[in-house]
């Protein structure tokens, strides 16, 4: 929810257009507004009300992951849909390194020793490696991935990126690979010591990590998922952890969510789980508003909007493989 001063900034940015503020739970008010609205800024995801609105041309969903809104009907309708990706990128990237550090340093084992009031060496700890000098592999190269790359270099890591579209190699990236260029995903997996997933969930990325990919990874490698649970085939992940094909996992997302209490993922000593929650950056809402305000300018100028969905982002969760 926006504070009054933040709403006022949006009101000024949309002027001279009529600005109507409706509470998210006011279904009748939303229905009335959508009868004549050209643009909508909403807190959640698209539903049938917005797809059926007669004049609507652009919807901004004020959150980062637009998977639930990336529906084929959006593009059939010609609707522009944008999100607030990037507003929490620094915190999400730090969350990824929380996992990497916790796994590299065996935080669970160390906390167990502390809880037991025991000062002693953990068996096998002499074989553990810090992050310095290791290779960070990032899947995706959006806002969060860029922050991950920057932090990776700060930790003294070699950074490789696997993304969809080709792009120039950034200063914080040692190797930039692209599926559109035909770069093999397997060679990316061969090199990475820590894999951080920061890609969108689409029909193309669903189960991007499955049995073959885990078998290809180093048995000392860590996989960290800061994106969406369905990008990983969770049964394959459990088997890879059980057999030692990979060394550990950091999971902020799962399939399903909440992760059921009976899932074996809870009990692996080399898995760290957070319940899809990250501490906020102090200016997160201001970052959201900045994105909307810039997109208002672009919309009026007929320029491409920030964080706009494309047909390649479509996700149809009810499909059958």
Q: Per residue of the chain (321 residues), what is the pLDDT tens digit? A: 789 999 999 999 999 999 999 999 999 999 999 999 999 999 999 999 999 999 999 999 999 889 999 999 999 999 999 999 999 999 999 999 999 999 999 999 999 999 999 998 899 999 999 999 999 999 999 999 999 999 999 999 999 999 999 988 899 999 999 999 999 999 999 999 999 999 999 999 999 999 999 999 999 999 999 999 999 999 999 999 999 999 999 999 999 999 999 999 999 999 999 999 999 999 999 999 999 999 999 999 999 999 999 999 999 986 544
Residue for token pair 């996700």? 315
Active site residues: 228, 257, 276
Q: Is the dihedral of CA 278, 106, 173, 228 positive or negative?
A: negative
pLDDT at 321: 44
Residue in 152, 94, 87, 139 with CA at minimum distance from that of residue 306:
87
How far is the C-alpha of 272 from the C-alpha of 109, rounded, in Å? 11
Q: Kind and range of the H or E element at 297? A: helix 284-301
pLDDT at 2: 86
Cβ distance 308 to 289 under 8 Å?
Answer: no
How far is the C-alpha of 241 from the C-alpha of 268, rounded, in Å? 8
Give, to the nearest 10 degrees, the angle between helix 4-14 and helix 284-301: 10
For residue 306, CA distances in Å to 83, 154, 296 come to 8, 28, 10
Domains of the chain are 4-87+282-313 (3.40.50.720), 89-273 (3.40.50.720)
């Amino acid at each position: 929810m926006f504070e009054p001063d933040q709403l006022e900034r949006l009101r000024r940015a949309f002027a001279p257009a009529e600005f109507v503020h409706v509470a998210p739970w006011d279904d009748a008010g939303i229905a009335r507004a959508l009868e004549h609205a050209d643009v909508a800024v909403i807190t959640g995801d698209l539903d049938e009300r917005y797809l059926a609105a007669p004049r609507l041309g652009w919807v901004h969903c004020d959150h980062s992951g637009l998977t639930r809104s990336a529906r084929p009907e959006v593009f059939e309708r010609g609707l522009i849909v944008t999100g607030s990706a990037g507003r929490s990128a620094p915190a999400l990237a730090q969350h990824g390194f929380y996992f990497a550090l916790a796994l590299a340093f065996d935080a669970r084992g160390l906390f167990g020793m502390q809880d037991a009031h025991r000062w002693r060496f953990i068996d096998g700890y002499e074989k553990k490696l810090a992050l310095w000098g290791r290779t960070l592999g990032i899947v995706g190269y959006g806002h969060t991935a860029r922050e991950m790359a920057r932090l990776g270099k700060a930790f003294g890591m070699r950074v490789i990126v696997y993304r969809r579209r080709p792009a120039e190699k950034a200063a914080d990236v040692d190797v930039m690979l692209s599926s559109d260029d035909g770069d093999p995903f397997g060679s990316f997996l061969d090199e990475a010591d820590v894999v951080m997933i920061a890609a969108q969930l689409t029909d193309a990325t669903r189960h991007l990590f499955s049995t073959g990919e885990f078998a290809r990874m180093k048995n000392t490698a860590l996989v960290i998922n800061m994106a969406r649970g369905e990008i990983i085939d969770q049964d394959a992940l459990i088997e890879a952890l059980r057999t030692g094909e990979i060394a550990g996992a950091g999971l902020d997302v799962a399939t399903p969510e909440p992760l059921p209490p009976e899932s074996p993922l809870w009990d692996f000593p080399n898995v760290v789980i957070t319940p899809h929650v990250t501490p906020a950056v102090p200016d997160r809402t201001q970052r959201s508003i900045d994105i909307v305000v810039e997109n208002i300018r672009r919309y009026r100028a007929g320029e491409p909007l920030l964080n706009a969905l494309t047909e390649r982002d479509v996700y149809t969760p009810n499909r059958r493989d």
